[in-house]
Amino acid sequence: MRIGAIEGGGTKFVCGIGNEQGVIEDRISFPTEEPEKVMAAIIDYFRNKDVEAIGIGTFGPIDIDPASKTYGYVTTTPKPGWSGFPFLATLKESFDVPMGWDTDVNAAAYGEAVWGAAAGLDSCVYFTIGTGIGVGVYSEGRLVHGLAHPEGGHILPRRHPDDRYEGACPYHGDCLEGLAAGPSLEKRWGVKGSELAPDHPAWEMEAYYIGQAVTSTILLLSPKRIILGGGVMHQKQLLPLIRQEVQRNLNGYVQVNDIVNDINNYIVSPGLGDNAALCGSLALGVEAWRKSSVNVDNG
Amino acid sequence: MRIGAIEGGGTKFVCGIGNEQGVIEDRISFPTEEPEKVMAAIIDYFRNKDVEAIGIGTFGPIDIDPASKTYGYVTTTPKPGWSGFPFLATLKESFDVPMGWDTDVNAAAYGEAVWGAAAGLDSCVYFTIGTGIGVGVYSEGRLVHGLAHPEGGHILPRRHPDDRYEGACPYHGDCLEGLAAGPSLEKRWGVKGSELAPDHPAWEMEAYYIGQAVTSTILLLSPKRIILGGGVMHQKQLLPLIRQEVQRNLNGYVQVNDIVNDINNYIVSPGLGDNAALCGSLALGVEAWRKSSVNVDNG
ipTM of this predicted structure: 0.96
Which of A125, A145, A148, A147 lies closest to A136, judged by CA?
A: A125
Nearest to A152 among B75, B152, B220 (CB): B220
Residues on chain B touching A219 (C-beta within 8 angstroms): 150-155
**Beta-sheet strand order (sheet of A3-8):** A24-31, A12-18, A3-8, A53-58, A99-103
Considering only residues 139 to 168 of chain A, which have any Cβ-Cβ distance to chain B shorter than 8 Å? 139-159
State the amino acid at position A163 in one-letter form.
D
Do residues A172 and A154 make contact, with C-beta atoms less than 8 angstroms apart? yes
Q: Is B139's CB within 8 Å of A143's CB?
A: no
Q: Is B171's CB within 8 Å of A75's CB?
A: no
Q: Is B155's CB within 8 Å of A220's CB?
A: yes
Report yes or no: A259 at the B interface, CB cutoff 8 Å. Answer: yes
Tell me, what's the pLDDT at A255?
A: 87
CA distance B152 to chain A (A): 5
Q: Is A258's CB within 8 Å of B147's CB?
A: yes
Residue-wise pLDDT tens digits, A108-151: 999 999 999 999 999 999 999 999 999 999 999 999 999 999 99
Nearest to A147 among B143, B215, B224 (CB): B224
Read off φ and ψ for residue A157, nearest 5 degrees. Answer: -80, 160
Q: Is A249's CB within 8 Å of B215's CB?
A: no
Residue of A nearest to B249 (CA): A172
The distance of Cα A23 from the centroid of its chain, to the nearest Å, equals 19
Report yes or no: A179 at the B interface, CB cutoff 8 Å. Answer: no
Residues on chain A touching B245 (C-beta within 8 angstroms): none
Residues on chain B touching A159 (C-beta within 8 angstroms): 158
pTM of the full structure: 0.96
Nearest to A221 among B140, B215, B220 (CB): B220
Q: Give the torsion sign (CA, B172, B181, B64, B270).
A: negative
CA angle centred on B124, ends A180 and A109, rounded to 5°:
45
Report yes or no: B212 at the A interface, CB cutoff 8 Å. Answer: yes
Residue-wise pLDDT tens digits, A90-118: 999 999 999 999 999 999 999 999 999 99
Tell me, what's the pLDDT at A298?
A: 56
Which of B217, B228, B215 lies closest to B268, judged by CA?
A: B228
Residues on chain A touching B258 (C-beta within 8 angstroms): 147
Local confidence band at A294 (pLDDT 50, 70, 90 cut-offs): confident
With a cut of 80, say whether residue A297 has pLDDT above it: no
Tell me, what's the pLDDT at B296?
A: 66
Report yes or no: A106 at the B interface, CB cutoff 8 Å. Answer: no
- Within chain A, all domains assigned CATH 3.30.420.40 are found at 3-106+274-298, 117-269
Query: What CATH class is the domain A3-106+274-298?
Result: alpha beta
Do residues B196 and B189 make contact, with C-beta atoms less than 8 angstroms apart? yes
| Residue with more model confidence, A297 or A279 | A279
Of the candidate ranges A8-12, A271-275, A281-285, B186-190, the one whose mean pLDDT is the lowest: A8-12
Q: Which of A77, A147, A158, A218 best tests the B interface by mutation, with the highest count of B CBs <10 A?
A: A147
The CATH number of A117-269 is 3.30.420.40
CA distance B250 to chain A (A): 7
Report yes or no: A219 at the B interface, CB cutoff 8 Å. Answer: yes
Do residues A111 and A19 make contact, with C-beta atoms less than 8 angstroms apart? no
Q: What mean pLDDT is reported for chain A?
A: 96
Q: Is A156's CB within 8 Å of B251's CB?
A: no
Nearest to A146 among B157, B159, B221 (CB): B221
Residue-wise pLDDT tens digits, B108-150: 999 999 999 999 999 999 999 999 999 999 999 999 999 999 9
SS3 for B200?
Answer: coil
**Residue B199 Cα distances to A143, B128, B163, B195, B242, angstroms:** 42, 22, 17, 12, 14
Q: Which of A154, A259, A266 best tests the B interface by mutation, with the highest count of B CBs <10 A?
A: A154
DSSP state of B264: G
Residue-wise pLDDT tens digits, A57-78: 999 899 999 999 999 999 988 8
Residue-wise pLDDT tens digits, A248-260: 999 999 989 999 9
Which of B285, B242, B288 lies closest to B266, judged by CA?
A: B242
Gap between the Cα atoms of B65 and A236, Å rounded: 34
Instruction: Measure CA of the first residue to CA of the last residue in chain B; give whole Å.
Output: 22
Q: Is B220's CB within 8 Å of A142's CB?
A: no
CA angle centred on B168, ends B167 and B170, rounded to 5°:
120
Mean pLDDT of A231-243: 97
Low-confidence ranges of chain B (pLDDT < 50): 299
Tell me, what's the pLDDT at B178?
A: 97
Gap between the Cα atoms of A207 and A243, Å rounded: 8
Q: Is A220's CB within 8 Å of B217's CB?
A: yes
CA distance B49 to chain A (A): 35
Residues on chain B touching A154 (C-beta within 8 angstroms): 219, 253
Q: Is B222's CB within 8 Å of A143's CB?
A: no
Which of A82, A99, A106, A83 lies closest to A46, judged by CA?
A: A99
Q: Classify each residue of B211-230 as buried b or exposed e, where b means 16 or more C-beta atoms within 10 Å of its C-beta.
A: bbbbbbbbbbbbbbbbbbbb
Residue of A nearest to B256 (CA): A148
CA distance A45 to chain B (A): 33
Pairing of the two strands B53-58 and B99-103: parallel
Residue A187, burial from CB neighbour count under 10 angstroms (0-12, 13-18, 19+)? middle
Q: How many CB atoms lie within 10 A of CB B43?
A: 15
Tell me, what's the pLDDT at A299?
A: 47
Q: Is B146's CB within 8 Å of A219's CB?
A: no
Considering only residues 220 to 249 of chain A, which have any Cβ-Cβ distance to chain B shorter than 8 Å? 220-224, 249
